[in-house]
Structure 1
Amino acid sequence: MAAVQSLSQLLQRSSIEEHDEVLKACNAALKKSKTDLQAQHAKVVALLKLDRYEDSLRLLEEAGDALKSKAPIEYAYALYKCGRLSEAAEVAASSATGRGAKHVEAQANYRAEKFVSVASIYESLAGNEAELGNEYNDLRINTWAAHAQGLWHREGDFSQIRKPTREDLEAFETSYNAACASIARGDLKQGEILLKRAKELCKTSEYLSPEDKASELLPINIQQLYTLLRQGKLESAEEVAREISLNENTDLSTKKIAQNNILISQKQNINPYQLHKLFHDTPEPRDSDQLFKFQSSALDSNSHALDLEVQKSDGVIRSTTKALSQRPYPSVDPDVNLLSIYNAAARVQDKTGHQAIQELHTLLARRPKDVGLVLTIVQLYVGEGNTTSAINALENTIHLLEESISEADQEVRYNPGLVSVLIALYQREGRKAHVKAELAKAASYWRQQSRQPTTLLRAAASELLHSPDPADLAISQELFGAIHTQNPADKFAIAGYVASYATTDLTKVKKELEILPKVQDLVPDDVDVAALENAGVPQSQASLAANAAVLAGARKRAAKDQNARAKKRIRKSRLPKDYDPSKAPDAERWLPLRDRSTYRPKGRKGKQRAAERTQGFVVTEKDEAAFGGQQQQQQQQQQKTANNASKKKKKGKR
């Protein structure tokens, strides 16, 4: 009892710098009573404060359920720091209560890359700044971080992109996270501006020590270097790379990313073999310090690219083939398709054009449903300007997927990305009917699924709206109706819903028609709508140019015909002596005399020769006898020649 009282008194007097003393007191108390729950709890907290997470977790698991029930938040946090993320989130959600447990659950889900769950947790914790105090800033920072990571993983809703407020731009943490969100959705210029803002705020902060400033500036500089490299601003990137300083206390994951970006900025000035060595010298992250999936995927791709540059094609083939054998097939996962692309690049090595395509077709025969491989072939065909062959290659793979009875194959076949590639190729060749047919098939498939790609359905509804086929119009009506039901405030859905029923059942969309703005409100007062309608639909510049070319061609042809009708002046020296301009010239004057229709042979022999030249002339007995005599004489001559040849002897050696 005295040990417990002395421990309680020590805990009352302790501060954040005395965790070692607390740990010693806890160990002394536990020597006298191993089941002292309060001492065990205090020791767990001290170990966590000393960053001894594995020791803390070992103590919690050895002590049993009593200590876990008394310290559920500590147990969840220890699991989280030891990399057991799913267990940590489960313990925080089920056993622990309070806002602290919610934060631990959000952190565990964040590291497990479940960003949708993270966003929902932070939304439940959101509230008034006056009520939350310092927690309010933490929630804003973490919410922006979850939003940015969701965009990187393509889990975010791009139609509802968050925009930074004035309050977000007042702190470097929120400015940095907002910049990451902009970069994730492809807005590099906005990301660069926000990173400069975050950098300035961090440097001028009055609450950070020089060591803390250096620690906070490191990820900002790394992200700024990446943004500049993506924009091709190499000189600015080299300046930022010189500001990056790595020390022993830097996390291995941060070191790995920083070293990668620095090497990319110096790629032009480093031998590829030296570049390969420097890239692999950085230790790999371990334990809880792990890269996110999109980061590790990018680094793996860079590793394969460097291996190809140093002629390690066989190694790339072996590693990618082994990795592909362990992944689902077929797949639309970007990581799997990147493996297929590097595998293909290693196999063709330095071949390009037709030779590379032939080599990859041989590989495609063994993996006919490999999406990454067939897309590589499509890209090579498009680069050669052979869109038709690209369409044929992609259609063959899609046909195999479509015939499969596997649900996974069907989902790959109607993947929005794969469908969009096929539609883009169709549009490149002007195959409008194929575009509508493909969108109709994709829409029919996704309408039966619980998880529907909104972007694809919107494109299908818009395209099928203009189809003359009543079946396509019915699909468009159903799609616009579903989109409108899902989001009644979507103006695109409202307009499409009204347009789809405008020609069949206008009464059904009367309510939605009233929501749309009236024409009078959209058209300025000085515009005459009736005059515009009478003038017709304006043509595009391409149509006007085509029409002008047609008219110009018609005018040229008319002028040519007019010149042809005009009489041409002929010199007298070229006219015959008996030329009479009042008489029409003989049409057969260019033919030989005997071939003209007016030719009449003279004498008996002439008439006979003329008759012989005429096709189908009558053969008389005299003619037949003459022909037979000629034939017999010719045979005798040939026989005589053969006999003379047989009598000749070969000359030999004497």
Structure 2
Amino acid sequence: MRSTISWRSWKRCSRAPGRTTSKFSRSPSKVWSFCEENAKCDVFFACVVLAVHPDDPDALNCKVVALINSDSFGDALAAIDSAGSVVDLKFEKAYCLYRLGRFAEVLQILQGVENSPGVLQLKAQTLFKTGDLNACVETYETIHREFSIESSEVKSNAIAAYVSGGRSREAFERMRSMQVNPKTLFELAYNVACVLIDQGELSQAEEHLLLARRLGQEMLLEDEYSEDEIEDELAPVTAQLAYVLQLQGRATEATESCLAILNRDLKEKDLPTLAVVSNNLAAIRKNKDASDSLRKLEVVLKKDADGKRLQFPEALGQKMSINQKEALVYNYFLLLLSTNKLNQARELIPSLVEEYSGSSMPVVLKACLSLKEGKIDLAEEVLGEYAEKNSESTVEPLLLCAQARTTAGHYLEAADVLRKATDIRHMPAIVATAVDLKERGGDVQGAQTILLESVKWWEDSMEETRDEIVELLLHEAAKLKLKTKDFAGAAELYERLAKSSSSKAVGLEAITGLVSCFAETDVAKGETFEKQLPDVKVVDASKLEESSVVPGGSKTIQANVEEKPAEEKKRKRKRKPRYPKGYDPENPGPPPDPERWMPMRERSYYRPKKKDKRTAQLRGSQGAISRDTSSSSAVAAGAAGAAAGSNGPSTSKPAETRGGGKNKKKGRR
């Protein structure tokens, strides 16, 4: 049942733009005049001041900021709550909640704070974390419009929001308006590469990623990082380069890059990069080495005590987007199916339905499980109910539903399901599949309707490739009408194709189709179109029969080629033969053996030597007597004794035993 899930390409996830490593990330633009190295000292002195003056606003502010700089966000939040209304620390409280992953409370607090560049940037980053990417983009547009900030960090985060929100085309326009120069900052080069990946410009994306890697190396070398530390810090760039190689079809290089990253043991340093690389490696391998891919994903995905719910580590859950989390869960589930761990997969379904209620992923995974178990009707039922409830559902459930109905032999219903995928219903591959399903189901008229609807849609579209696709669809529609002997309809389509096509080859195909159509209905009109076809060279059959074919080739050589006169032919020079030394050609002697080149055993006159029969009786080690010899001698002795017994009495002497006591050698005293 492995083929039941092979239709769905394994989900790959690009490294999240904007958020790279801890060394390159930037906090919201709130400038504090305290050094992080002295944060603990600042906390101590602030506490000393507060012990004397508990309501001193400067001391309270100093303590909170020092706790934030030392990454003690829980203690900072407790200090803010204990301060009460003595000092306004709403922004600092929102930032602490942001770092603790309590995003809903952050947005609630920021509603009562006056807009400023720092507040808006914190709001935008919070919206980015919650997955509300459109609102995030609008917030960055407000920052750019109202405050005209030239900060490279803000520009980098704005580009990341556009890319993550699927608005990469707008990102290009925004980059021009913001005058983005990717050579100035590591994050900018990285995020511009993400934009190019989303646009399919993979070669340029690879160049920008290499630029980002070089800028990052220069920054870290200035901070006196070692080579191993630099490789660890730049692991996200390496992961994104591997993703680009994967998209380019260079699977071997991508696999080597992913394995090199996984061998660096980034579990404690950069868990999000480790998760992305493990996921992409599983997407490259697919069903190959499924057990190893599953073990690598289990490093970043844990189950609860009951084993019925997947949990993300805290360091991972806060830094990954919702799409990336769905990709991880999706591929983990597919790996469970590939390794035949169906019970574990079945136990995860209820929790996935609960956690991802707004996504189609749980429905798709439940259908995949049913198909794996051979329950095609159940999978069809689940996907059909979802398609009915969600008229604007995503493509994945509809494609899987069409596959299930095709497997069950319901071809017409499968074609109808494909037509519900409005986003891709007019794509050439989907149109070809739907037409084939209609033909299998016997609805040829429905197949023709699908082709003509797609022709009209592409004629009205503004795509660059619309002319080529229209020609392709018209040609297929005409062939289908010709196949069903609708000569008039086929002739009409071929005429449209001949008039609209700018390609000479397509025009000739259309005229050929017209000749085929009018040959059945209007011969005279067919002859007029036949005159538009290029002349065909007439081959004389008799000359063709006289020609011979060159062995191993396709060219022919005429047999009746005029031979040149004998005098014109170049005469070959006769050379005197050279004989071996001492050889007399007039008295050559007996002819040499014609079988001299053959092994002796294969020659006709070979006779093997006869073996001596006496040697066959001598067996065993030197001096031993074989049993056959002793028995024959015993028989001979018995016969002789019998002969002697007839003349007188026989005396018998007992046999002496070997190794008697008298002959035993004495040892040294």
| TM-score interval (norm. to shorter) | 0.5 to 0.7
Counterpart of 1:66 (choices 82, 86, 90) is 86
* CA distance in structure 1 between the partners assigned to 2:414 and 2:283 by the alignment: 33
The percentage of counterpart residues that share the same residue type is 20
Structure 2: unaligned runs, 5 residues or longer? 1-31, 302-311, 439-444, 465-497, 525-669
Question: Among 1, 5, 19, which residue is 2:39 paired with?
Answer: 19
CA distance in 2: counterparts of 1:250 and 1:237, whole angstroms: 22
Matched ranges for 1:567-582 at <5 A: none
Q: Corresponding residue for 1:310?
A: 339
Rate the CA distance shift 1:261–1:74 in 2: closer, same or farther, 3 A: same
**Inter-CA distance 264–286: structure 2 relative to 1 (3 Å threshold):** same
Which residue of 1 is the match for residue 321 of structure 2?
Answer: 292
* CA displacement 1:566-601 (0-9 Å, x = unmatched): xxxxxxxxxxxxxxxxxxxxxxxxxxxxxxxxxxxx
TM-score, normalising length from structure 2?
0.53
Q: Work out which of the residue numbers 346, 349, 353 in structure 1 matches 2:369.
A: 346
Partner of 2:531: none
Alignment of 1:191-270 (within 5 A): 191-205=205-219, 207-210=222-225, 213-214=230-231, 216-241=233-258, 243-244=260-261, 245-247=264-266, 249-262=268-281, 270=289
Using the alignment, how far apart are the partners of 2:202 and 2:407 within structure 1?
27
Provide the rounded CA distance (Å) in 1 between the counterparts of 2:434 and 2:33. Answer: 76
**Structure 1 partner of 2:584:** none
Residues 492-524 of structure 1: per-residue CA shift (max 9 Å, x gap)? 9xxxxxxxxxxxxxxxxxxxxxxxxxxxxxxxx
How many Å apart are 1:48 and its aligned residue? 0.2
**Which residue of the partner structure matches residue 612 of structure 1?**
none
Deviation at 1:52, TM superposition (A): 0.4
User: What pairs with 1:576-595 in structure 2 (closer than 5 Å)?
Assistant: none
Residue 555 of structure 1 and its aligned partner are, at CA, apart by 7.2
Partner Cα distance (1:538, 1:234) in 2:
39
DSSP 3-state at the match of 1:26? helix
Secondary structure of 1:343's aligned partner:
helix
| One-letter amino acid of the structure 2 residue matched with residue 342 of structure 1 | L
**Residue 131 of structure 2 corresponds to which residue in structure 1?**
113
Could you tell me which residue of structure 2 aligns to residue 523 of structure 1? none
The aligned counterpart of 2:62 is 42
Structure-1 residue corresponding to 2:538: none
Q: How far does residue 255 in structure 1 lie from its aligned partner after superposition? A: 2.9
**Among 182, 188, 191, the residue aligned to 2:196:** 182
Q: Is the Cα contact below 8 Å between 1:73 and 1:96 reproduced in 2?
A: no
Taking the aligned partners of 1:72 and 1:238, their CA distance within structure 2 comes to 47
Relative to structure 1, is the Cα distance of residues 146 and 366 closer, same or farther in structure 2, using a 3 angstrom cutoff? Answer: closer
* Higher deviation after alignment, 367-376 or 418-427: 418-427
TM-score normalised by the chain length of structure 1: 0.54
Cα distance, 1:108 vs structure 2: 2.0
* Contact in 2 for aligned 1:317/1:347 (Cα 8 Å): no
Q: Are the equivalent residues in 2 in contact too, given 1:179–1:192 (CA < 8 A)? A: yes
Contact 1:360 / 1:377 at 8 angstroms: preserved in 2?
yes
Give the structure 2 partner of residue 146 of structure 1: 161
Aligned equivalents of 2:340, 2:81: Cα separation in 1 = 51
For the residue of structure 2 that corresponds to 1:168, the secondary structure is: coil
Q: Indicate yes or no: 2:182 matched with 1:168.
A: yes
State the shift of 1:64 in Å: 1.7
In 2 relative to 1, CA 128–236 (structure 1 residues): closer, same or farther, beyond 3 Å?
A: farther
Q: CA deviation at 1:253?
A: 2.7
Return closer, same or farther for 1:158/1:384 CA change in 2, 3 Å cut-off. farther
- 1:409-428 alignment runs, 5 A limit: 416-417=422-423
With over 3 angstroms needed to count, the CA separation of the structure-2 counterparts of 1:277 and 1:538, relative to structure 1, is closer
**Cα 1:386–1:253 shift into 2, 3 Å:** same
Whether contact under 8 Å (2:162, 2:168) holds in the other structure is: no
2: distance between equivalents of 1:74 and 1:47?
A: 11
Instruction: Provide closer, same or farther for how the CA distance between residues 282 and 30 of structure 1 changes in structure 2, counting only shifts above 3 A.
Output: same
1:76 Cα deviation from its structure 2 partner: 1.9
Q: Give RMSD over aligned pairs.
A: 4.6
CA distance in 2, matches of 1:278, 1:263: 9
Q: Is the 8 A contact 1:253 1:289 kept in 2?
A: no
Deviation at 1:280, TM superposition (A): 0.8
CA–CA separation in structure 2 for the residues paired with 1:436 and 1:262: 39
Partners of 1:136 and 1:387 lie apart in 2 by 57
**Which structure features the higher share of helix residues?**
1
Deviation digits for residues 401-453 of structure 1 (CA, Å, limit 9, x no counterpart): xxxxxxxxxxxxxx84386688786677685996699x9xxxxxxxxxxxxxx
Alignment of 1:314-325 (within 5 A): 314-321=343-350, 323-324=352-353
Letter in 2 for 1:150: G
CA–CA distance in 2 between the matches of 1:387 and 1:294?
33
Shift of 1:20: 1.0
The residue correspondences of 1:85-164 to structure 2 (distance < 5 A) are: 85-126=103-144, 136-151=151-166, 156=167, 158=169, 161-162=172-173
Cα contact 1:175–1:195 (8 A) shared by 2: yes
Deviation at residue 250 of structure 1 after TM alignment: 1.7
**How far apart are the structure 2 equivalents of 1:138 and 1:365?**
47
Q: Distance in 1 between matches of 2:294 and 2:207?
A: 33
Hey, what does 2:515 align to over in structure 1? 551
| Contact preservation (8 Å) 1:19, 1:49 | yes
| Distance of 1:463 and 1:553 partners within structure 2 | 26
Q: Distance in 1 between matches of 2:457 and 2:288?
A: 50
Q: Tell whether the 8 Å contact from 1:72 to 1:96 is kept in structure 2 after alignment.
A: no
Give the Å deviation of 1:59: 1.5
Name the counterpart of 1:521: none
AA partner of residue 43 (structure 1): K
Q: Distance in 1 between matches of 2:501 and 2:459?
A: 21
Partner of 2:215, secondary structure, is helix
Name the CA shift for 1:320/1:369 in 2 (closer, same or farther; >3 Å).
farther
Check conservation: 2:128, 2:136, Cα contact below 8 A.
Answer: yes
What SS does structure 1 have at the residue aligned with 2:165? helix
Q: Residues 149 and 181 of structure 1 are in contact (CA less than 8 Å); yes or no, is this contact kept in structure 2?
A: no
CA distance change for structure 1 residues 274 and 391 in 2, over 3 Å: closer, same or farther? closer
Contact 2:39 2:66 in 1 (8 A): yes
Contact 1:93 1:101 (8 Å CA) reproduced: no
Any conservation in 2 of the 1:314–1:346 contact (CA below 8 Å)?
no
Structure 1 residue 44, shift from structure 2 partner: 0.5
Q: 1:375 aligns with which of 372, 396, 399?
A: 399
Q: CA deviation at 1:296?
A: 0.2
1:83 maps to 2:101: yes
Alpha carbons 2:278, 2:293 under 8 Å: kept = no
Structure 1 pair 202–22 and aligned structure 2 pair: CA distance change class (3 A): closer
Q: Hey, what's the Cα distance between the residues in 1 that align with 2:415 and 2:33?
A: 77
2: CA distance between counterparts of 1:221 and 1:228?
Answer: 11
User: Cα offset for 1:27?
Assistant: 1.7
**Counterpart of 1:94 in structure 2: which amino acid?**
G
Give distance in 2, aligned partners of 1:385 and 1:158.
42
For residue 278 of structure 1, what is the aligned residue in structure 2? 296
Q: 1:219, CA displacement in angstroms?
A: 1.0
CA distance in 2, matches of 1:127, 1:325: 40
Find the aligned partners of 2:45 and 2:327 in 1 and give their Cα distance. 49
> Could you tell me whether the CA contact under 8 Å between 1:228 and 1:236 is conserved in 2?
yes
Residues 186 and 215 of structure 2 are in contact (CA less than 8 Å); yes or no, is this contact kept in structure 1? yes
AA at the equivalent of 2:78? R
Preserved CA contact (<8 Å) 1:119 1:147: yes
* Partner residue, 2:640: none
CA shift for structure 1 position 387: 5.6
Q: Judge conservation of contact 2:197–2:244 (CA < 8 Å) in 1.
A: yes
